[in-house]
Amino acid sequence: MSTSVAIAVITFRRPALLRGLLTSLQAQELPSGGEYAIRIVVVDNDAEGSAARVLEEFGDGTPYPIASVVEAEPGIPFARERSVELCWNDDALIFVDDDEVAPPGWLATLLEAWESTGADVVTGPVKGNLPPGAPPWNAYSDVHDSTGRHTTGEELRKAYTNNTLVSRRVYHAVTPGFHPAFRYTGSSDLHFFLRVHRAGFRIVWCEEAVIAEEVPVGRTTLRWLVRRAFRSGSGDTISRLLIRPGVISYVLVLAYASARVISAIGFALAGLLLGRKTHLLKAVRRFFSGVGSLAGIVGINHDEYRERHGSADGGGAVPGDLDGGTGPGAARVADPGSAPLADHPDARLP
């Protein structure tokens, strides 16, 4: 029997980018000798269903069928959770972002790494394609690399949903997957994969399974860099405190945040003395990441994605069971409404 793999995409009003991604996915080849049934699942987080116009271009005759659904509840965690529900019976799902383009060989490489390592999760690098006229510091910085630098086969403690294969046994065990506390802030994927690692599943790196990401002009400014560093630090703190609340976690998070700020000072001094701009950029990122980590202790985060969805939360609560999946599908996450989500008792996962 063939192995069923779904490529899960969530999108929100980015038709040109979505078209580019789907075109690149339809051009992918499969590993020789392997039997795979590949399909693409698109979750449109626009209640108006604006992605439909693009999806109509990929009808009958495409190599890989496309299933689509509208998730009207705004926010990344809801769209991601819906994609898991749609892929519940597949042997694995692959998360990619709608602003990415898969180069030739990407899918085969990722699947081969899954086969050869026997890992529960396989993740790879994302290469940012800078727009013309981007400030020079973007080119020599790793600011657009959210995954860091690793060697193939290295086991990691976390991953993200920008280029990652997840085995069915993982999302059947760690459910609900994506927490509503991160509706507009991002980091719901970090929180999920931290829980995946904590549950004992293996996360393995594949350096060769690289995917490209289109970097918009708005993400090439120092202002964006500061906000992203703050948001990442805060999201990390909130994730860890949700997973393991208690005094010990608060102490560890405080120590981590302080270490980031102190190391930022060190990088700044080294950058000034040695004249290395890379050190200065690391100083900026680490400082504001540390500040964000401290802010996360009291539940403060940057709503990076709120302006794209609008200020309204989109209606009432979404029914669901936070105690875990019951029945054939994944449990739906619940939206506590307008309360501070990170501190709301209904937003805490076991």
> Which pLDDT value is given to residue 303?
59
Report the distance separating Cα 280 and Cα 206, nearest Å. 29
pLDDT of residue 87: 96
**So what's the pLDDT on residue 325?**
29
Question: Which contiguous run of DSSP H or E holds residue 92?
Answer: strand 92-97
Least confident span in 79-88, 157-166, 246-255? 246-255
Q: Is 337 left (phi over 0), alpha (psi -120 to 50) or beta?
A: left
Asked if the model's pLDDT at residue 107 lies above 70, the reply is yes
Domain extents in the chain: 3-219, 226-308
pLDDT band at residue 304 using 50, 70 and 90 as cut-offs: low
How confident is the model over 241-260, as a mean pLDDT?
A: 91
Angle CA 318–320–321, to nearest 5 = 155
Work out the mean pLDDT of the chain and round it to a whole number. Answer: 84
pLDDT-based confidence at 306, cuts 50/70/90? Answer: low
* CATH class of residue range 3-219: alpha beta
Please report which confidence band the pLDDT of residue 37 belongs to, taking 50, 70 and 90 as the band edges: very high
Query: Of 145, 106, 92, nearest to 28 (Cα)?
Result: 106
Cis peptide, bond prior to residue 176, ω within 30 of zero: yes
pLDDT digits (tens, 9 = 90+) for 158-171: 999 999 999 999 99
The pLDDT, as a whole number, for residue 147 is: 63
